[in-house]
Structure 1
Amino acid sequence: MFESWRRSLAAQIVPDFGEPPVSFDHGELDDVRQEHPLARWVPMLRQTLLDGAEGAGQVMIITDADGTILWREGHPAVRRDADRVHLAEGTRWAETAIGTNAMGTTLATGAPVQIHSAEHLVRTYHSWTCAACPIRDPETGALLGAIDLSGPLHTMHPALLALVVAAARIIENELRWRLLASDALFTQRNEHHLAEAGQGAALLSHTGRVVASAPAARLVPGQRVGLDDGGTCLGEAGLEPLDGGYLLRVGQRRSRRKPRLSLELLGSGTPAATVDGVRHELSLRHAEMLALLVMHPRGLTAERLALLLHGEQGNPTTVRVEIHRLRNVLGRHVVETKPYRITADVDADLLVLREALRRGDVEAAVERAGLLLPDSESAAVRAERDELLASMRGWVLGTENADLLWRFANTEAGRDDPEVLERARDLSAPDAPHRDVLETRLRLLLEDEA
């Protein structure tokens, strides 16, 4: 308890005025819940914990690994009391956010914990008693989150901690069983690769855990092989991507062919990404993320990406969820992590337009002329869109080529620009068939502005 208080005070938590920050609003919670690995276990936890706890006036809480409450269910009166002290879904209860509490402390220590009354650092919660236990991913050992039972002081019982620990162990055992079943299927599907690859070969999970190995291999199941963020083996070995993992060939380093990514981000049509010939239509949010990653080839952290997308209100956890979804669609070797970056060979209309403008190739720029994600409200995307448009206008208005101006005046970028229309009209021959069209469009545009 002393160490927990010390960590909390070092995080500048004020005992008299502490209040948990909000990580997700209700509009974001559904998306985050759907992607969380504990979502499938909520009904089982409800049955295991609340059937025995509801009569005692408890609420069941499930958090993510950051300590944010994703689910809170239980006794209606206790839920109302919890709302009054912000013990609510979407709030973050890490020690660094609200000081010593069962959820935050169990995640900080990785061990089950019961926090009662004045053991909470923040005095607001001295009328509460809580028991929590962490849940770990058997594949990586990483924390998935915590489960917690909380209630008024009179509901305190020594068995609460044992109940929470038992529920956590049920989930971890079920996750372990599912992992073993997945390993068996992965091995069955790929044992012919293992047999053909030589004596030092092994099948690896996507995180580098050895699933199966050749009889003479030095690697044994359960052992880990170091992989970098790009899925490359750290050592003298070669990797071949498989569906669900890798084939490791010791002493046979092979370079992996980069996937090819083509992006359509300009214009009012639906943005799209094509990976090795397979086209995927993109949501605006995913298109914005890819545009920003194209604009920042060295990569962006979740925090930086959230800031560029949504300003100070951006939520890094929401960004992580969306990147996870994007990687599931495009492939893990297209968008890598730590930091988030595109590692495929990229062909993007945005980059083609940028390069044409850099060279001063007005013909090529007009050929690609289009607004960058015109529906996007992201400040960073808008700034890039405005900069590209300003550069295009500057080059086009400086030309004496009437045909080029007419073509630009028929693009999304120039169609409603009175200066472009006027310049195209003035350079057109008096008998040019499109001169009347330009006159009419210019007149209508000026009338609308008036």
Structure 2
Amino acid sequence: MSYPHLDAYSRLLRGAYEAVAAGQSWPHAPRRLIKASWLRSLDAGIDLEGTSAPLVIDPSHIRDLRDDHPLRPLLPLLAQTLAGLADASGHVMIVTDGDGHVLWREGNHTTLSRADGIGLADGHQWSEQHVGTNGIGTALATGRPVHVFSEEHLMRVLHVWSCSAAPITDPDSGRVIGCVDISGTSRSLHPATVALVATTAKLAETQLALRMHERDERLRRRYESLRSRPGVLLSATGRVISGDPAGDLGERVHLDERTHFAGRRMILRDGSVALLEPFSDGYLLRPALPTAPPLLTLSFLGERPPSASYGDRDRPLSLRHAEILTLLALHPHGLTAEQLSFHLYGDDGNPVTIRAEIHRLRAQLGDAIAAKPYRLTCPVEADFLALRRMLPAGDPASLARSYPGPLLPRSESPEIRRERDELEAQVRACLLRHGTPEDLWTYAQTCNGRDDYEILERLAALPPTDPRSAAARSRLLS
């Protein structure tokens, strides 16, 4: 972008900006790329008087995200190319992931301090949907290098800044995986900086391609040494590397998410069923006969640690993973990350955290969990669902035997607490109406039943020779 009369362009931008802020028609529109970005940003409901990009990633999680990111090995290259220039010229270099989350930054100390004030810092989100027109967000939205000058930003607080940014596309997955950006004060950052940033992004993509070809060659050599295991060789992202000479599968087999488990069954585009097996750093696709998916069994009632069995393996679960599986079992049609976040945390939830937890859970249970929306794809047997089905029959003996205690008693999830309280109330009401002393005594061994006054009164009324009567009276007196 080159403007021989920068002051005149600034005046045009100010006029257009104030018209936007007042909800009026624009007397003069900015250049086409910026006009389109403004329209997208306004449709997203951007607050022009916002003061900072939102912090959406807990600082304690940043290190894990950096370690797992494919740009991590290229940081020395990016820093060598841009960070020194940024520091010397009073600017900052920013590297984000493909969603606009800031993962790394380097540069001038004074400018870094100023950048903190607008959230141009680790863990903050710079997509157009969150900040409006800006170098990082607009580069990611358009898939091309951009320079955003001063009043071209939609948030007023950014008018003292200019930025040049370029997206970085992973040749392995074909997805935009990040963005590199140089930001500084509006007059100190020359528009021609975007050419340098674009060249740096292309250099990063070239390095990613070289690393990809090296991985492919190593994988191909391992595959060719195992003639006894014929199949189609795939990269970790689903690219077809070898074994499909006719090209029936195309360049890529679509994988919903990266998987790390054996035995995933897939329906290919020709309708055939194949078995996806981990192979070294990639996968093998082999013909497979269709079979029924394994059964997922959940044991979440009572005070024992939550556990699951999937197929022939038992798997202890963290409370968070048990909560997610409970919600998915209660909502068989599926939930989005946003809905899961709300059910788990209420208004304080963060979908980014949920996606990370789902990723870890799928590493244990594989394709038992599908995405978009998240849902269980296998038969499910859960003790709390079985208890639900028993309630209409009103059989107190069956309920007492099947109820070792509340559903995930340590869970603070609003949705799970409601389900837990409803189950508890219905079981207790049935036992008080129709339960025998044996049923009441069984319930009295649960964590809530131990101190239930009404249950204990019924048991205390048993003949004095009945040991359950003495135990109930002791509890009432304690």
Both structures adopt the same fold (TM-score exceeding 0.5): yes
Q: How much has 1:306 moved relative to structure 2?
A: 0.9
CA distance in 1, matches of 2:365, 2:470: 47
2:275 is matched with which residue: 225, 234, 240?
240
Task: Please tell me whether the aligned partners of residues 297 and 309 of structure 2 are also in contact (alpha carbons under 8 angstroms).
Answer: yes
**Residues 1:147 and 2:147 are matched in the alignment:** no
Report the counterpart of residue 81 of structure 1 in structure 2. Answer: 114
Q: CA deviation at 1:10?
A: 3.3
Of 415, 418, 421, 1:386 maps to 421
Letter in 2 for 1:247: L
Give 1:399's aligned residue: 434
Residue of structure 2 in register with 1:339 after alignment: 373
- Percent identity of the aligned residues? 42
Give a deviation string over 1:41-79, Cα, whole Å, max 9, x none.
Answer: 445534443233212222222223332323333322112
How far the C-alpha of 1:35 sits from its partner, in A, is: 4.8
Q: Distance in 1 between matches of 2:161 and 2:291?
A: 55
Compared CA separation, residues 245 and 348, structure 1 to 2 (3 A): farther
2:49 is the counterpart of 1:13: no
* 356-365 or 30-39: bigger deviation: 30-39
Q: Which segments of 5 or more consecutive residues in structure 2 lack a partner in the other structure? A: 1-33, 258-264
Number of the residue aligned with 1:354: 388
Question: How far did residue 191 of structure 1 move?
Answer: 5.4
Amino acid at match of 2:243: S
Contact 1:33 1:70 in 2 (8 A): yes
Maintained 8 Å contact 1:265/1:349: yes
1:393-430 CA-partner distances (Å, limit 9, x unpaired)? 1122122411121111112342232222222333x332
Residue 224 of structure 1 pairs with residue 249 of structure 2: no
2:161 aligned residue = 128
Q: Tell me how far apart the structure 2 counterparts of residues 382 and 305 of structure 1 sit (CA, whole Å).
A: 14
Query: Match of 1:448?
Result: none
Whether the 8 Å contact between 1:68 and 1:91 is mirrored in structure 2 is yes
The 1:48–1:260 alpha-carbon spacing in structure 2 relative to 1, beyond 3 Å, is farther
In structure 1, C-alpha distance between the alignment counterparts of 2:305 and 2:347, rounded to whole Å: 28
Match of 2:126 in 1: 93
**1:398 alignment partner, SS class:** helix
- Three-state SS of the structure 1 residue aligned to 2:321 is helix
Match of 2:19 in 1: none
CA contact (8 A) 2:51 2:118 kept: no
8 A contact 1:112–1:161 mirrored in 2: yes
Moved more, 150-159 or 125-134: 150-159
Alignment of 1:106-255 (within 5 A): 106-157=139-190, 160-188=193-221, 202-205=232-235, 208-215=238-245, 217-219=246-248, 223-225=251-253, 231-243=266-278, 244-247=282-285, 249=287, 254-255=289-290
Q: Relative to structure 2, which stretch is displaced further, 150-159 or 179-188?
A: 179-188
Question: Which range moves more in the overlay, 182-191 or 127-136?
Answer: 182-191
RMSD value over aligned CA atoms?
2.9
CA distance in 1, matches of 2:290, 2:422: 38
State the AA in 1 paired with 2:473.
E
Q: 1:160 to 1:344 in 2, by over 3 A?
A: same
Q: Which moved more, 1:432-441 or 1:206-215?
A: 206-215
TM superposition shift of 1:289:
0.9
Residues 14 and 435 (structure 1), Cα distance of their counterparts in 2 relative to 1, 3 Å cut: closer
**1:194, 1:213 within 8 Å by CA — same for their partners in 2?**
no
Asked if structure 1 preserves the Cα contact closer than 8 Å seen for 2:103 and 2:123, the reply is yes
C-alpha change, 1:50 and 1:294, in structure 2 (3 Å) is same
- Say how many residue pairs are matched: 434
SS of the aligned residue for 2:422 comes to: helix
Deviation at 1:34, TM superposition (A): 5.0
Check whether the contact 1:203–1:248 (CA below 8 A) recurs between aligned residues. Answer: no
Distance 1:361 1:156, change over 3 A: same
Q: 1:376 aligns with which of 411, 414, 419?
A: 411
**Mapping for residues 410-449 of structure 1, pairs under 5 Å:** 410-426=445-461, 428-444=462-478
CA 1:402 to 1:178, structure 2 compared with 1: closer, same or farther past 3 Å?
A: farther
Distance 1:23 1:335, change over 3 A: same
Matches within 5 A, 1:294-309: 294-309=329-344
Kept in 2: contact 1:140–1:207 (CA 8 A): yes
| TM-score normalised according to structure 1 size | 0.85
> Cα deviations across residues 250-279 of structure 1 (Å, max 9, x unaligned)?
xxx732541332223222332223333333
CA distance 1:358–1:183, shift in 2 (3 Å): farther
> Secondary structure of 2:447's partner?
coil
Task: Report if the CA contact (8 A) 1:194-1:247 is conserved.
Answer: no
Which of 259, 269, 277 matches 2:312?
A: 277
Question: 1:112 deviation in Å?
Answer: 1.2
Name stretches of at least 5 consecutive residues in structure 1 with no aligned partner: 445-450
Q: What displacement does 1:382 show?
A: 0.8
Contact in 2 for aligned 1:204/1:248 (Cα 8 Å): no
Q: Distance in 1 between matches of 2:300 and 2:223?
A: 38
Residue of structure 1 equivalent to 2:5: none
